[in-house]
Amino acid sequence: MSSRRILFYIFFRGTITSAFFSFLLVTIATVVAPVAQSQTWKSLGPDGGDARALASDPSHPGFVYLGTTDGHIFGSRDGGRHWDLLGLAGSSHNAIVTSLIVDPRNSATLFASTWTREQHGEGGGIFCSNDGGRTWRARGLAGHAVRALVQAPSDPDTLVAGALDGVFRSRDAGNTWEMLTPAGDPELRNFDSLAIDPQNSEIIYAGTFHLPWKTTDGGEDWTAIHSGMIDDSDVLSLSVNPSNSHQVFASACSGIYRSEDSGDHWKRIQGIPDSSRRTLVIRFDPASPGTLYAGTTEGLWKSVDAGARWRRISPSAWVINSLAVLPADDESTASRVLIGTEQQGVVVIKASGDGKDQFESANDGFEHRRIVSLTFDRENPERLAAVLVNASEPVISTEDGGKSWLPLGSGFEPGGVRRLFSTPAGWWAAVASGGLIHLDPISGKWMRAGALIEDTQSRPRVTTVSRITAKYSEALFRSVVNDLAFSDSGWLAATDDGLFTSNDAGATWSLLPFSSLALPVNSVRVSSNGEEIRIVSSRGMVFSSDAGRSWKWHDLPLDSYGAVRLEIADETTLLATSPTGLYISRDSGATWTKCQSGLPASPIDDLLIRPDFWIVSVEKVGLYLSRDRGANWSRVKNPAGAAETDYFTVVQSALTSSRIYAASASESLYLLDLSRPTINSSTTPSRH
Question: What number of CA atoms fall less than 13 Å from residue 210's CA on the CB side?
Answer: 8
Alpha-carbon distance of 188 to 572, in angstroms, equals: 66
Alpha-carbon distance of 53 to 71, in angstroms, equals: 11
Counting every residue written for the chain, the total comes to 688
Alpha-carbon distance of 30 to 221, in angstroms, equals: 72
Check residues 277 and 483 and name the one with the higher pLDDT. Answer: 483
* Residue 328 pLDDT > 80: no
Lowest mean pLDDT among 84-93, 538-547, 612-621: 84-93
> Could you give the angle at the alpha carbon of 263 between the alpha carbons of 259 and 269, nearest 5°?
30
* Residue 471 pLDDT > 50: no
- Beta carbons within 8 Å of 445's beta carbon, 6+ residues apart: 409, 410, 411, 439
Predicted confidence at residue 13, as pLDDT, reads: 39
Q: What is the mean pLDDT of the segment spanning 584-591?
A: 95
For 665, other C-beta atoms within 10 Å of its C-beta total: 19
Q: What is the mean pLDDT of the segment spanning 533-562?
A: 92
Averaged pLDDT of the chain: 85
Q: Give the pLDDT band of residue 352 (cuts 50, 70, 90).
A: low
What's this model's pTM, rounded to 2 decimal places?
0.82
Alpha-carbon distance of 171 to 242, in angstroms, equals: 22
Tell me the per-residue pLDDT of 104-155, one tens digit each, with 9 for 90 and over: 999 999 999 999 977 667 889 999 999 999 999 999 999 999 999 999 999 9
Helix axes 3-13, 18-36, angle to 10 degrees: 170
Predicted confidence at residue 469, as pLDDT, reads: 40
Check residues 224 and 667 and name the one with the higher pLDDT. Answer: 224
* Residue 175 pLDDT > 90: yes
Predicted confidence at residue 654, as pLDDT, reads: 85
* Residue 472 pLDDT > 50: no
Contact predicate 671/633, CB 8 Å: no
Alpha-carbon distance of 7 to 202, in angstroms, equals: 71
* Residue 11 pLDDT > 70: no
Q: What is the mean pLDDT of the segment spanning 464-471?
A: 40
What's the DSSP call for residue 7? H
Predicted confidence at residue 684, as pLDDT, reads: 39
> What are the two backbone dihedrals, phi and then psi, of residue 333, each rounded to the nearest 5 degrees?
-115, 160
Tell me the per-residue pLDDT of 191-226, one tens digit each, with 9 for 90 and over: 999 999 999 999 999 999 988 999 999 999 999 999
Lowest mean pLDDT among 11-20, 135-144, 205-214, 228-237: 11-20
